Amino acid sequence: MKRLPEPELMDQPDQARAYADADFSEPNALFVDLFAAAFPDFAQGLVADLGCGPADIPVRLVDRYPRARVIAVDGAAEMLKLAAEAAARADRRRQIETLHWRIGAEPVPQRLRGAAAGIVSNSLLHHMSDAGALWRAVRDCAAPGAAVLVMDLLRPDSPEYAQSLVDLHAAGAPEILRRDFHNSLLAAYRPDEVATQLRQMELAGLKVEQVSDRHWACWGRI
Ligand SMILES: C[S@@+](CC[C@H](N)C(=O)[O-])C[C@H]1O[C@@H](n2cnc3c(N)ncnc32)[C@H](O)[C@@H]1O
Q: What is the CATH number of the domain that holds 40?
A: 3.40.50.150
In a domain, 182, yes or no: yes
In a domain, 105, yes or no: yes
Position 201 scores a pLDDT of: 96
The DSSP annotation for the chain comes to -------S----HHHHHHHHHS--HHHHHHHHHHHHHH-TT--EEEEEEET-TT-HHHHHHHHH-TEEEEEEEES-HHHHHHHHHHHHHTT-TTTEEEEE--BTTBPPPGGGTTTEEEEEEES-GGG-SSHHHHHHHHHHHEEEEEEEEEEEEB--SSHHHHHHHHHHHSTT--HHHHHHHHHHHHH-B-HHHHHHHHHHTT-TTSEEEE-SSSEEEEEEE-
Position 29 scores a pLDDT of: 98
The number of domains in the chain is 1
In a domain, 199, yes or no: yes
Task: Give the mean pLDDT of the chain.
Answer: 97
Position 122 scores a pLDDT of: 98
In a domain, 35, yes or no: yes
Residues 209-216 have a mean pLDDT of 98
Position 9 scores a pLDDT of: 94
In a domain, 133, yes or no: yes
Cα gap 21→156, rounded to integer Å: 25
Q: Is the dihedral of CA 32, 38, 40, 44 positive or negative?
A: negative
Position 44 scores a pLDDT of: 97
Please name the residue whose Cα sits nearest to atom 13 of ligand 1: 51
In a domain, 150, yes or no: yes
In a domain, 69, yes or no: yes
Position 188 scores a pLDDT of: 98
Range of the domain at 103: 13-221
Band of pLDDT at residue 89, cut at 50, 70 and 90 = very high
In a domain, 131, yes or no: yes
Position 68 scores a pLDDT of: 98
Residues 97-109 have a mean pLDDT of 98
Please tell me the pTM assigned to this model.
0.98
Please name the residue whose Cα sits nearest to atom 12 of ligand 1: 51
Position 211 scores a pLDDT of: 98
Position 207 scores a pLDDT of: 97
Position 158 scores a pLDDT of: 95
Pick from 6, 10, 12 the residue to mutate for probing ligand 1's pocket: most ligand atoms within 8 Å of its CB: 10
